Amino acid sequence: MSAPLLAIQPSLTPGDANSAARPGGSVSHSTLDNGLEVVVIPDTRTPVVTHMIWYKNGSADDPLGKSGIAHFLEHLMFKGTKKHPQGEFSNLVAELGGQENAFTSYDYTAYFQRIGKEHLGALMAFEADRMCNLLLTDEVVAPERDVVLEERRMRTDSDPAAQLDEAVQAALFAHHPYGTPIIGWNHEIENLGRQDALDYYNRFYTPENAILIVAGDVEAEDVLKSAQETYGKIPARAESPQRRRTQEPPHRAHRLVTLLDEKVEQPAHERVFKVPSYRTAQPGEAEALEILAHMLGGGPTSVLYETLVVDQKIAVSAGAYYAGSAVDDTRFWIFATPAPGVNLEHLDQSMDGVIKNFIEHPLDVERLQRTKTRLIADAIYAQDSQASLARWYGESLATGLSIADVQAWPARMEAVTAQDVLTAAKNWLDKRRAVTGFLLPEATS
Amino acid sequence: MSAPLLAIQPSLTPGDANSAARPGGSVSHSTLDNGLEVVVIPDTRTPVVTHMIWYKNGSADDPLGKSGIAHFLEHLMFKGTKKHPQGEFSNLVAELGGQENAFTSYDYTAYFQRIGKEHLGALMAFEADRMCNLLLTDEVVAPERDVVLEERRMRTDSDPAAQLDEAVQAALFAHHPYGTPIIGWNHEIENLGRQDALDYYNRFYTPENAILIVAGDVEAEDVLKSAQETYGKIPARAESPQRRRTQEPPHRAHRLVTLLDEKVEQPAHERVFKVPSYRTAQPGEAEALEILAHMLGGGPTSVLYETLVVDQKIAVSAGAYYAGSAVDDTRFWIFATPAPGVNLEHLDQSMDGVIKNFIEHPLDVERLQRTKTRLIADAIYAQDSQASLARWYGESLATGLSIADVQAWPARMEAVTAQDVLTAAKNWLDKRRAVTGFLLPEATS
């Protein structure tokens, strides 16, 4: 009975699917006649399977004026079909001791279950049924819209930090749909109706637009056979769904977004740069940005933390993050929380200094090697979780990468040079085109 | 042979069409069977007529990803029809001693001519012909797109102040299409083709979506008769065109946009507030904003000018402007040019002080009365130009107002109280939700 979940968490750090540490045999990848991609990831350690369906559409594919429809439909996908009325699917998963969830991101929507491997066929039948037979009535749509509106109130409208993030993101992506929050703008959610959900469902929920990922103690041919008997029955469309997105014009100005709210107790600073994603980058560039983010701000031994928190003592935390997994150009963040009494302008200038210093000096090659080793190790550890492994493949394929891209990632990380990292920093961490966010308590006047 | 013109100039200050100063008799307003609105404004002073066709669509109605199409189509409207090949219409106007022009704004596109009154019928026949018979070939579309791209390069891409305006406007309207420049984003203009233009033309260029304005020494019934014989022959559509626009979510954060460019010789400051337009405002609110703009920044006796330029000597110019004529919520600007050696942060804080002081003190009622008198007089003087008068009606009707709204404007201006102006300032000049723009020379490092 888990509620659908709005996923805006960081992408997984991918790992080496070909390394000795990878559980099970080789990953198989095939396509049914109706266009459904099928990926099978062997994992013989437990008798449990992870079953995921990924649709290659997310909030950035919401039609103009219908923001939030991808996420709203994710909620509505739990409302049942003619064959399996509301609750039956979730009850089955629970009764069989399984887990289920769903998430909507900018670029994809995914549904997953974990369950004893003997029940995989049953899950497929249910998931295939709701891929084409969703039943929506006004009676279920209207109350669920209230649930989403309440979700928005709780997560965003009552949280100044979330409001700042929305405003920063809107300033960074003024024309591209990543500037619109995944959950949607309140005034548009309020007007989403049954027909909007059905139109969106009919447009995107098709086998050609979906990827089935199964990880577990299963044979690829058995999975393919079951997939053929369930998903394979759904006819392909004459035209497969297309993403149609506006692209951002070149940025020329720095934008500072300041949010003042009396609820703010802890001021905060963030800076966001528009950078290439794994899909849009030149070869090696995204890997360099990934390493750059970790060297600058990946934990207490990173440059930002050491300088701002340990040495200068003007911040109580500092970090950086690269959201590399995206269909279009994406975000690179640096952020810090000021120490008591330190104002954000001072912290901002110190951050500028850290970046400038980083770019103008030779790279610490030991730090570079430590970072690579750690990132690749992290990726291997992440594969220890069957669900993480499945999710890593799903997210990569759903954002336009291939199985080969995924599997070559550790080798590409190893190949990144000190010069690549410095070049990425010089090219992309250009404050003149970035957005800076200040979160401050409202001045009581 | 005048080139089509991209109009982003301030709206006209409307005037009192019922006052004794109004030229000619009463304005007539009727609608043909096919939905075309016809407005006739008598002006017997000269034997010249102004003929205008206003379409109720502008750049804010450009389809997603096709920014610039309204303006591009305005250019293409001069490319001829089967009956009147390219150049014939413009040559006729020139040979008959007339003038012509066209302009695209956020909310409308308009075509106009001024000519001896005996030629009005001929103009109508030509304009009606290109309302439904436009002929476009790839041979004319591609070179004209290069003309538009060159127009963009000249006016925007080589002008840092214009670039700052674009970035400020994009930050103010992150979701509403007023955030996209009228001329379009370069990467989208580059992809506009013949079919895009035709689709847009077929959607919007219809009699139901148009307003004919004729001002001059003409009788309303003669104009109606000619209109019926020309425009009246164009059949109405089954469905009349609709604007479909996303609306902006509530703003919660201040945004500072800083553009640095080595070409900048004179730094500049602007602040833009999102405020109601004449169409979206509560009764009397837009008029109060209009008066507020003039009291704050309408010339050398305004509050901003007197304080920043005359008294404090920290600026060499300062002003304010309310873009009240808009279908949706619109912009209220204040702006200043710093005196040599004065930095923008200092100027910014002084501006804050001027606004705060204005709001916290009783209004100077003499200044209020002077402002009203001047604005109403300006409107009367503007009517002295036949083209201004015609344009004022066209712009008002095309943005959703009525003839009655136009004619009641002076009375509504007179009715604005000191409290109304202070309330408008308190409600809308809220820096916490505004966008500030800084134009600065690039630091030479």
| Contact call for A247 and B187, based on CB within 8 A | yes
Lowest mean pLDDT among A43-47, A316-320, B99-103, B186-190: A43-47
In the set B37, B74, B287, B395, the catalytic residue is B74
| A171 in B contact zone (CB under 8 Å) | yes
**pLDDT tens digit string along A137-157?**
999 999 999 999 999 999 998
**pLDDT tens digit string along B146-169?**
999 999 999 998 899 999 999 999
**pLDDT tens digit string along A355-405?**
999 999 999 999 999 999 999 988 888 788 899 999 999 999 999 999 999
**Residues of A catalogued as catalytic:** 74
Cα separations in angstroms, A421 against A191, A364, A432: 46, 11, 20
Nearest to A175 among B163, B185, B247 (CB): B185
Of B428, B267, B291, nearest to B365 by C-alpha is B291
| B432 in A contact zone (CB under 8 Å) | yes
The answer to whether B92 and B122 have CB atoms below 8 angstroms apart is yes
CA-nearest residue to B189 within chain A is A249
Distance of alpha carbon B101 from alpha carbon B315, whole angstroms:
37
Does pLDDT of A23 surpass 80? no
Does pLDDT of B399 surpass 80? yes
| A260 in B contact zone (CB under 8 Å) | yes
Helix (H, G, I), strand (E, B) or coil at A275: strand
**Position A8 confidence tier, pLDDT thresholds 50, 70, 90:** very low
**Position B274 confidence tier, pLDDT thresholds 50, 70, 90:** very high
Strands B210-216 and B37-42: what pairing?
A: parallel
- Decide if B74 is catalytic: yes
Does pLDDT of B62 surpass 60? yes
| A418 in B contact zone (CB under 8 Å) | no
| Contact call for B255 and A258, based on CB within 8 A | yes
Distance of alpha carbon B359 from alpha carbon B423, whole angstroms:
8
Q: Which residues contact A91 (CB under 8 A, 6 or more apart)?
A: none
> Residue B17's pLDDT is what?
37
Lowest mean pLDDT among A410-424, B354-368, B373-387: B373-387
Does pLDDT of A204 surpass 60? yes
Q: What is the token pair recorded at B192?
A: 């506009």
Nearest to B255 among A65, A171, A250 (CB): A171
Of B396, B432, B162, nearest to B277 by C-alpha is B396
- The residue of A61, A64, A169, A271 whose CB has the most chain B CBs within 10 angstroms, and thus the best one to mutate to test that interface, is A64
Distance of alpha carbon B413 from alpha carbon B390, whole angstroms:
21
pTM recorded for the entire structure: 0.87
Mean pLDDT value across chain B: 92
CA-nearest residue to A173 within chain B is B174
| A259 in B contact zone (CB under 8 Å) | yes
Strands A5-6 and B210-216: what pairing?
A: unpaired
Q: Which residues contact B230 (CB under 8 A, 6 or more apart)?
A: B121, B124, B125, B127, B128
Of B282, B303, B276, B284, nearest to B416 by C-alpha is B284
Mean pLDDT in residue range B125-139 = 96
In which element (H, E) is residue B145 found? helix B138-152
The answer to whether B333 and B271 have CB atoms below 8 angstroms apart is yes
Distance of alpha carbon B314 from alpha carbon B354, whole angstroms:
13
Mean pLDDT in residue range B171-193 = 97
**pLDDT tens digit string along A240-284?**
899 999 999 999 999 999 999 999 999 999 999 999 999 999 999
Query: Other C-beta atoms within 10 Å of B208: how many?
Result: 18
Does pLDDT of B284 surpass 50? yes
Nearest to B259 among A164, A253, A258 (CB): A253
Sign of CA dihedral A198, A203, A205, A207: positive
Does pLDDT of A207 surpass 60? yes
Distance of alpha carbon A403 from alpha carbon A425, whole angstroms:
28
Distance of alpha carbon A123 from alpha carbon A116, whole angstroms:
11
Does pLDDT of B21 surpass 70? no
Distance of alpha carbon A378 from alpha carbon A399, whole angstroms:
21
The answer to whether A236 and A33 have CB atoms below 8 angstroms apart is yes
- The residue of B254, B345, B426 whose CB has the most chain A CBs within 10 angstroms, and thus the best one to mutate to test that interface, is B254
**Position A444 confidence tier, pLDDT thresholds 50, 70, 90:** low
**Position B227 confidence tier, pLDDT thresholds 50, 70, 90:** very high
Lowest mean pLDDT among A11-25, A362-376, A415-429: A11-25
> Residue B328's pLDDT is what?
98
- The residue of A246, A247, A329 whose CB has the most chain B CBs within 10 angstroms, and thus the best one to mutate to test that interface, is A246
> Residue A11's pLDDT is what?
36
| Contact call for B187 and A251, based on CB within 8 A | no
| B65 in A contact zone (CB under 8 Å) | yes
Does pLDDT of A322 surpass 70? yes
| Contact call for A252 and B188, based on CB within 8 A | no
Candidate ranges A20-24, A25-29, A252-256; pick with highest mean pLDDT: A252-256
Strands B109-116 and B48-55: what pairing?
A: antiparallel
Query: Other C-beta atoms within 10 Å of B219: how many?
Result: 12
Nearest to A249 among B187, B250, B256 (CB): B187
Helix (H, G, I), strand (E, B) or coil at B327: coil
**pLDDT tens digit string along A97-132?**
899 999 999 999 999 999 999 999 999 999 999 999
Does pLDDT of A189 surpass 60? yes
CA-nearest residue to A170 within chain B is B174
Start-to-end Cα distance in chain B:
48
Q: What is the largest CA-CA distance in chain A?
A: 70
Lowest mean pLDDT among A276-280, B3-7, B70-74: B3-7
**Position B444 confidence tier, pLDDT thresholds 50, 70, 90:** low
Mean pLDDT in residue range A219-236 = 96
| DSSP tag of B5 | E
**Position A4 confidence tier, pLDDT thresholds 50, 70, 90:** very low
Express as a percent the part of chain A with pLDDT over 70.
94
| B28 in A contact zone (CB under 8 Å) | no
Residue B64 C-alpha, separation from nearest chain A C-alpha, in angstroms: 7
Distance of alpha carbon B344 from alpha carbon B437, whole angstroms:
10
**pLDDT tens digit string along B24-53?**
458 999 999 999 999 999 988 889 999 999
What was the ipTM of the complex prediction? 0.81
Which residues in chain A are contacts of B180 at CB distance < 8 A? 175
Mean pLDDT value across chain A: 92
**pLDDT tens digit string along A330-354?**
999 999 999 999 999 999 999 999 9
A-B contacts at Cβ under 8 angstroms: 99
**Position A17 confidence tier, pLDDT thresholds 50, 70, 90:** very low
CA B382 to chain centre: 16
Query: Other C-beta atoms within 10 Å of A371: how many?
Result: 24
| Contact call for B258 and A259, based on CB within 8 A | no
As beta bridge partners, residue B333 has: B272, B321
Residue A173 C-alpha, separation from nearest chain B C-alpha, in angstroms: 8
**Position A45 confidence tier, pLDDT thresholds 50, 70, 90:** confident
CB contacts under 8 A, B 174-213 vs A, are 174-175, 179-180, 185-188
- The residue of A257, A259, A345, A444 whose CB has the most chain B CBs within 10 angstroms, and thus the best one to mutate to test that interface, is A257
